[in-house]
């Protein structure tokens, strides 16, 4: 009986302990689920240690979350205040998801009208739809839709699986500086033209017979004044091409063009080179005949000037992919590969003395580059030192037109 009573008491006590432990476990569960504050956790007993660990872990979690939150908020603030326009757009339909303050100001975006709608800022641009579909293309230059006095460039960068990031830059100041530089070069060249013509005229009037003391220096004076005139003329040509935004397009009859290039090459070569032309294209080009003539003739004149007597110059008009190319090949000195990327820069020469000796201005390839740019065409250069070079003007298919009989 006594044993029976004490057994029941023990069982009751055990049940009480188990119930107490369950209660403690339940409270810990409440804290882990965030239903109770960690201060209500048991400090003593079997669950005391576990509770302390949970408390520590919870605090560390909270601190980490607060730090991440602060960092994220910092990034958002930085992106929002970034001085260049940033716009997050959907890949599929160019819907605006987010943009910063600069994008609002320079692209004229507003939260009410533009978030969730397709990007309208590029509507005025003909190729915008194609451009927006393919990130990684060249930057798009445009007038700011919010302020016509501002010029912007936009770049499209893949951002995530669903979104692209549009990054803009205000290039108004650079554009103005470039304009100032262009005007300066054009004005200086223009101002130099008249005095040079006068000097040139007087030099022509001086004959060595009348002024024998000048006889040794007259040819050099004449050749230098001619060189200066050519430099001024080339600079004026580049200024005109740079200022030109559009092209007066017409048929460029390639049969007479090739004939004329061959005649010019023969005249310049004075029969010291073999000059051939081949035409496997059988089509004409669409563009500006005088500008294309000037570009091609610069390439032909370079080929003659940089090829020793006895060499061969080949002018070839042929298919190139969907489009066509006019290639001028020579068997001349060739150009070391390191120079090729900079060759079309103004006054860039592989050998300044050789260029001057051959009457070069250092501006020929720059003119070629500008003319081709206006035609949406590209200049490519292949060269082997000691074996020769090929300069090719590559035109897209849209520039090819059938020949007419006249
Ligand atoms: P330049 O008036 O000096 O010929 P260009 O702009 O026409 O100026 O050419 C730049 C430089 O490129 C030349 O000075 C020359 O060094 C090099 N070059 C151009 N064409 C050829 C060529 N066909 N063969 C070798 N070098 C060339």
Per-residue pLDDT, averaged over 309-335, amounts to 97
The boundaries of the domain holding residue 180 are 174-243
More reliable by pLDDT, 246 or 199: 199
Token pair for 225: 């004044």
Distance of CA 40 to CAs 17, 33, 47, 51, 198, Å? 19, 13, 13, 10, 102
What confidence score (pLDDT) does residue 399 get?
97
End-of-domain residue from the set 116, 142, 170:
170
Question: Do 231 and 316 lie in a common domain?
Answer: no
Question: Do 271 and 387 lie in a common domain?
Answer: yes
**CA–CA distance, 218 with 241 (Å, rounded to integer):** 35
Nearest protein CA to atom 23 of ligand 1, as residue: 303
- At 23, the pLDDT band (50, 70, 90 cuts) reads confident
Per-residue pLDDT, averaged over 94-123, amounts to 92
Residue 36 in any domain: the answer is no
Question: What's the mean per-residue pLDDT of the chain?
Answer: 91
Residue 34 in any domain: the answer is no
- Residue 146: phi and psi, rounded to 5, are -90, -30
Question: Do 228 and 364 lie in a common domain?
Answer: no
Nearest protein CA to atom 18 of ligand 1, as residue: 302
Taking the CA of residue 303 as reference, the ligand 1 atom at the shortest distance is: 23
What confidence score (pLDDT) does residue 2 get?
55
What confidence score (pLDDT) does residue 156 get?
94
Give the strand order in the sheet containing 140-143: 96-99, 86-90, 163-170, 151-158, 140-143
pLDDT at 406 over 70: no
- Tell me if 302 CB under 6 Å of ligand 1: yes
- At 7, the pLDDT band (50, 70, 90 cuts) reads confident
Taking the CA of residue 349 as reference, the ligand 1 atom at the shortest distance is: 14
Mark residue 108 as left, alpha or beta (left: phi above 0; alpha: psi -120 to 50; beta: remaining): left
pLDDT in tens, 48-88: 787 778 778 888 988 999 999 999 999 999 999 999 999 99
Question: Do 397 and 305 lie in a common domain?
Answer: yes
- Tell me if 300 CB under 6 Å of ligand 1: no
- At 1, the pLDDT band (50, 70, 90 cuts) reads low
Calculate how far, in angstroms, residue 349's C-alpha sits from the geometric centre of ligand 1.
6
Question: Do 210 and 153 lie in a common domain?
Answer: no
Q: Torsion angle, CA of 300/301/302/307, rounded to 10 degrees?
A: 90
- Tell me if 303 CB under 6 Å of ligand 1: yes
pLDDT at 319 over 60: yes
pLDDT in tens, 151-170: 999 999 999 999 999 999 99
Per-residue pLDDT, averaged over 8-28, amounts to 86
- Tell me if 108 CB under 6 Å of ligand 1: no
Distance of CA 361 to CAs 345, 358, 389, Å? 12, 9, 19
- Tell me if 362 CB under 6 Å of ligand 1: yes
Give yes or no for a contact between 119 and 94, defined as CB atoms under 8 angstroms apart.
Answer: yes
Least confident window among 187-191, 246-250, 285-289: 246-250
**CA–CA distance, 235 with 215 (Å, rounded to integer):** 31
Calculate how far, in angstroms, residue 182's C-alpha sits from the geometric centre of ligand 1.
23
Give yes or no for a contact between 372 and 378, defined as CB atoms under 8 angstroms apart.
Answer: yes
Beta-carbon count within 10 A of 246 CB: 6
Task: Classify residue 195 by burial, with Cβ atoms within 10 Å: 0-12, 13-18, 19+.
Answer: exposed
Residue 20 in any domain: the answer is no
What confidence score (pLDDT) does residue 164 get?
94
pLDDT at 17 over 90: no
Question: Do 157 and 198 lie in a common domain?
Answer: no
Name the helix (H) or strand (E) containing 327: strand 323-330
Residue 55 in any domain: the answer is no
Looking up tokens 């910063």, which residue turns up? 100
pLDDT at 105 over 80: yes
Our mutation pick for probing the ligand 1 site, out of 299, 306, 358, 393, counting the most ligand atoms within 8 A of Cβ, is 306
Name the helix (H) or strand (E) containing 33: none
CATH of the domain at 277: 3.30.565.10
- Tell me if 273 CB under 6 Å of ligand 1: no
pLDDT in tens, 267-277: 999 999 999 99
Calculate how far, in angstroms, residue 302's C-alpha sits from the geometric centre of ligand 1.
6
Name the helix (H) or strand (E) containing 336: none
Q: How large a percentage of the chain has pLDDT more than 70?
A: 98
Calculate how far, in angstroms, residue 388's C-alpha sits from the geometric centre of ligand 1.
12
Calculate how far, in angstroms, residue 347's C-alpha sits from the geometric centre of ligand 1.
10
- Number of domains making up the chain: 3
Residue 73 in any domain: the answer is no
Taking the CA of residue 350 as reference, the ligand 1 atom at the shortest distance is: 16
Query: Is residue 104 helix, strand or coil?
Result: helix
Beta-carbon count within 10 A of 210 CB: 9
pLDDT at 265 over 60: yes
Question: Do 191 and 139 lie in a common domain?
Answer: no
pLDDT at 148 over 60: yes
What confidence score (pLDDT) does residue 243 get?
87
Give yes or no for a contact between 277 and 283, defined as CB atoms under 8 angstroms apart.
Answer: no
Give yes or no for a contact between 222 and 203, defined as CB atoms under 8 angstroms apart.
Answer: yes
**CA–CA distance, 217 with 379 (Å, rounded to integer):** 40
Question: Do 335 and 394 lie in a common domain?
Answer: yes
Per-residue pLDDT, averaged over 103-114, amounts to 93
**CA–CA distance, 5 with 13 (Å, rounded to integer):** 12
Token pair for 60: 């560390």
387 DSSP 8-state letter:
T
The CB-based long-range contact list for 38-42 (8 Å cut-off, 24+ gap) reads none
pLDDT in tens, 171-224: 999 999 999 999 999 999 999 999 999 999 999 999 989 999 999 999 999 999
Nearest protein CA to atom 19 of ligand 1, as residue: 302
Question: Do 164 and 226 lie in a common domain?
Answer: no
- At 309, the pLDDT band (50, 70, 90 cuts) reads very high
Residue 209 in any domain: the answer is yes
End-of-domain residue from the set 117, 142, 170:
170
Q: How large a percentage of the chain has pLDDT more than 90?
A: 70
Question: Do 204 and 310 lie in a common domain?
Answer: no
Calculate how far, in angstroms, residue 377's C-alpha sits from the geometric centre of ligand 1.
20
Residue 239 in any domain: the answer is yes
- Tell me if 370 CB under 6 Å of ligand 1: no
Nearest protein CA to atom 13 of ligand 1, as residue: 349
Question: Do 257 and 376 lie in a common domain?
Answer: yes
What confidence score (pLDDT) does residue 134 get?
83
Question: Do 195 and 119 lie in a common domain?
Answer: no
pLDDT in tens, 328-367: 999 999 999 999 999 999 999 998 887 777 778 999 999 9
192 DSSP 8-state letter:
H
Task: Classify residue 116 by burial, with Cβ atoms within 10 Å: 0-12, 13-18, 19+.
Answer: exposed
CATH of the domain at 134: 3.30.450.20
- Residue 124: phi and psi, rounded to 5, are -70, -10
């Amino acid at each position: 009986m006594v044993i029976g009573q004490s057994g029941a008491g023990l069982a009751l006590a055990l049940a009480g302990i188990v119930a107490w432990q369950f209660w403690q476990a339940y409270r810990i569960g409440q804290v882990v689920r965030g239903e109770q504050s960690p201060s209500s956790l048991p400090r003593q007993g079997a669950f005391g240690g576990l509770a302390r660990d949970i408390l520590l872990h919870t605090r560390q979690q909270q601190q980490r979350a607060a730090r991440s939150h602060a960092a994220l908020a910092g990034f958002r603030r930085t992106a929002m205040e970034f001085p260049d326009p940033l716009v997050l757009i959907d890949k599929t339909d160019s819907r605006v998801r987010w943009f910063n303050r600069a994008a609002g100001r320079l692209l004229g975006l507003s939260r009410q009208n533009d978030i969730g709608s397709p990007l309208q800022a590029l509507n005025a641009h003909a190729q915008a739809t194609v451009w927006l579909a393919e990130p990684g293309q060249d930057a798009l230059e445009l007038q700011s839709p919010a302020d016509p006095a501002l010029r912007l460039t936009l770049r499209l960068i893949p951002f995530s699986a669903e979104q692209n990031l549009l990054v803009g830059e205000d290039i108004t100041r650079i554009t103005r500086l470039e304009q100032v530089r262009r005007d300066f070069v054009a004005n200086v060249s223009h101002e130099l033209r008249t005095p040079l013509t006068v000097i040139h005229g007087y030099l022509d009037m001086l004959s060595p017979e009348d002024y024998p003391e000048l006889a040794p220096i007259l040819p050099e004076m004449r050749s230098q004044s001619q060189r200066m005139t050519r430099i001024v003329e080339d600079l004026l040509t580049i200024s005109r091409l740079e200022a030109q935004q559009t092209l007066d397009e017409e048929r460029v009859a390639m049969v007479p063009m090739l004939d004329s290039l061959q005649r010019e090459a023969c005249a310049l070569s004075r029969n010291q080179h073999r000059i051939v032309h081949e035409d496997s294209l059988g089509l004409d080009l669409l563009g500006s005949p005088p500008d294309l003539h000037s570009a091609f003739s610069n390439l032909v004149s370079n080929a003659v000037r940089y090829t020793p007597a006895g060499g061969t110059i080949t002018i070839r008009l042929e298919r190139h992919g969907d489009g066509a190319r006019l290639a001028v090949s020579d068997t001349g000195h060739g150009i070391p590969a390191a120079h090729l990327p900079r060759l079309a820069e103004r006054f860039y020469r592989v050998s300044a003395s050789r260029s001057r000796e051959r009457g070069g201005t250092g501006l020929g390839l720059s003119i070629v580059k500008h003319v081709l740019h206006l035609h949406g065409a590209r200049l490519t250069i292949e060269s082997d030192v000691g074996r020769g070079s090929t300069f090719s003007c590559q035109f897209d298919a849209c520039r090819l037109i059938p020949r007419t009989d006249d």
